[in-house]
Amino acid sequence: MHSIWKSYPKLKRELTQTKQLMTKTLRIKNKAVESAVLEMLNQGGKMLRPAYQLLFSEFGTPDADKKIALAAAIEMLHTATLIHDDIVDKSTTRRGLPSIAHQFGEDVAVYAGDYLFVTTFKLMANYTDSLKSLQLHSDSMEKILDGELGQMNFRYNLKQTAADYLSNISGKTAELFSLSCAIGAIESSTSHLLASQARDIGKNVGIAFQIIDDYLDYTQTEQVIGKPVLEDMKQGVYSLPLLLALETKLVTLAPILNKREAMTDYDATRVEKIIRETNALDKTKEIALEYTNQALKIIQKLPKNAENTKQTLNDITTQLIERIR
Amino acid sequence: MHSIWKSYPKLKRELTQTKQLMTKTLRIKNKAVESAVLEMLNQGGKMLRPAYQLLFSEFGTPDADKKIALAAAIEMLHTATLIHDDIVDKSTTRRGLPSIAHQFGEDVAVYAGDYLFVTTFKLMANYTDSLKSLQLHSDSMEKILDGELGQMNFRYNLKQTAADYLSNISGKTAELFSLSCAIGAIESSTSHLLASQARDIGKNVGIAFQIIDDYLDYTQTEQVIGKPVLEDMKQGVYSLPLLLALETKLVTLAPILNKREAMTDYDATRVEKIIRETNALDKTKEIALEYTNQALKIIQKLPKNAENTKQTLNDITTQLIERIR
């Protein structure tokens, strides 16, 4: 289990149970694919989404089996989207391992992702008591995929703004965080107010998380991040630091970015250098901090409980932003 | 609407409503993708699965809105699998139109299929009264995908048997027919016996349907079928006529099939000629007829109702096999 959870023994234990349930649930006839997906589920991955979900369930009266099953469902859904994202982005690695698409081919990756999607719904349908969460789940998933398809409209678009980016990541990343928090609350029968606060906190944490990830793409080397920023640029996927730099350096950056698939490592270094000459990275950090603070503000409004969950949420959310401070 | 329904005005009207609901439900930000998926939903496609579902609902007390929504869910699920299958099979056409993967790229096709998967679950979650159908749905989907992944194990395998093939198509095709029939019955509160008969009928119809399709691949030209058999051979996907021919002509066929991706149109013609020299096509027809007869036998056991649904089921199922008689 990731070191981020070491100070939270109960949560850590529950996340371990979540992993065990995922492993138990996954049964694919094609054993090579099964073991690759299992490796992906067990390796890396901080399990942030199930962690937030489990924490929000503490504000109600959670059922022990159900909360683990729903946490597993969320992490499997997340893994499904990663497997399909790696086809779309042509990523060769994921969490330091070869991506499923790279290792087994895109055809296997299509079905392996589909399989995990279905397992998600299966776990949900078998463990939830009401249709409400399933409706919420499918609404969120619809937003996520509509966001992904919407984002494709922006590929290679040098005129997209920071606002476009924020709207895209609201669908792409933040929706799943928001869903995790909301389901944690709803399925343990918290008040409506708490469920709505959970949703808002998740949204802000999710946006901050994606911005932090995109920031780190520019400041850490490939070995640490796993997914190279050059690939994104080649495919016309531009994240916040680059979009902010484009506001002042369009004329300099356009000829390099317009090389598209033909961009080289050297081109990527040049783009990175130009970004560093602007204040885009500082601004990116600031925006991530704003969303984090917004999340922390709502966390402060949560009620106190015996487990001091409020404090845990505060600490974890703060730790996420500290990766870039 | 397909001409197969012209003698069944009520069913035809309900299938038209099903199409209208699918069109209304589909909302994708990327408008080019939206219109391509809409075209695919509206063009071609006999809508067999929703038809069987709607017919089985007549044995209970169906709710008008619900039955249309569940029929739309089944057809969308089917369309989702087609979009993803076309990535895997590298098919350039589908129902006489360019496939989504071919027209917009595999990346768009991945998310477009995912989007339809989610819409399926959304419709189910919003219209079903109980979690039971959703559990059934996700169990079936799991079998279908496990079947697809399992089938990949058999690629280029010249030693797979007719039994392997039947086991694969039981998952790949028959499960969805079986699910359609079962959900039609269950969601309109028929007896347990009827729901179980529905499931068995769907299974047999589905197996017969896939065998008939595979038979037609060898006896009709590409213009009529849409999906060339050569592509399947190149990718090592061998269907019943070829597998039956391999039982006696392994030595002759192996060197041609082992060319794999390098197989030419001429090679495909040679394989077809060898198949015709055996009794493989007749045997294939016989096996399809056996499954059809099995379905018809269970249909005979169904109760009579005012709409004479039993007769309609009998006639439609008979029409399917008549395509190859």
* Cβ neighbour number for residue B149 with a 10 Å cutoff: 24
> B320 near B212, Cβ under 8 Å?
yes
| Least Cα separation, residue A54 to chain B (angstroms) | 23
Binned at pLDDT 50, 70 and 90, residue A159 comes out as very high
| Least Cα separation, residue A207 to chain B (angstroms) | 20
Higher pLDDT among residues A111 and B152, named by residue: A111
Binned at pLDDT 50, 70 and 90, residue A39 comes out as confident
Which of A30, A87, A142 is closest, CB to CB, to B149?
A30
Each residue's pLDDT tens digit, B207-255: 999 999 999 888 876 544 334 677 888 889 999 999 999 999 999 999 9
The residues, ordered by sequence, that sit 6+ positions from B219 with a Cβ below 8 Å of its Cβ are: B281, B324
Which of B29, B119, B145 is closest, CB to CB, to A111?
B145
Cα B82 → chain centroid: 9
Q: What are phi and psi of B97, to 5 degrees?
A: -110, 160
What's the pLDDT score for residue B265?
Answer: 85
Give contacts of A125 with chain B, Cβ < 8 Å. Answer: 131, 134-135, 137-138
Tell me the whole-structure pTM to 2 decimals: 0.88
> B40 near B94, Cβ under 8 Å?
yes
Q: What is the mean pLDDT of residues B43-56?
A: 91
Each residue's pLDDT tens digit, A124-141: 888 887 788 888 888 888
Dihedral angle sign, alpha carbons of residues A133, A110, A208, A155 = negative
In terms of Cα–Cα distance, which of B46, B41, B71 is closest to B56?
B71
Subunit contact B122:A114, Cβ cutoff 8 A: no
Q: Identify residue A162 by its one-letter amino acid code.
A: A
Domains of chain A from N-terminus onward = 1-135 (1.10.600.10), 154-325 (1.10.600.10)
Q: What is the mean pLDDT of residues A47-71?
A: 95
Which of B30, B122, B153 is closest, CB to CB, to A149?
B30
**Which B residues 223-282 touch A at CB under 8 Å?**
none
| Least Cα separation, residue A179 to chain B (angstroms) | 15
Give contacts of A87 with chain B, Cβ < 8 Å. Answer: 106-107, 110
Q: Is A118 on the interface with B (CB under 8 A)?
A: yes
What's the pLDDT score for residue B152?
Answer: 81
Give contacts of A107 with chain B, Cβ < 8 Å. Answer: 87-88, 152
Give contacts of A128 with chain B, Cβ < 8 Å. Answer: 131
Higher pLDDT among residues B51 and B1, named by residue: B51
Which of A87, A118, A131 is closest, CB to CB, to B138?
A118
pLDDT at A225 over 50: no
Which of A33, A84, A135 is closest, CB to CB, to B149?
A33
Rounded to a whole number of angstroms, the CA Rg of chain A reads 20
Subunit contact A87:B108, Cβ cutoff 8 A: no
ipTM score of complex = 0.84
> B69 near B19, Cβ under 8 Å?
no
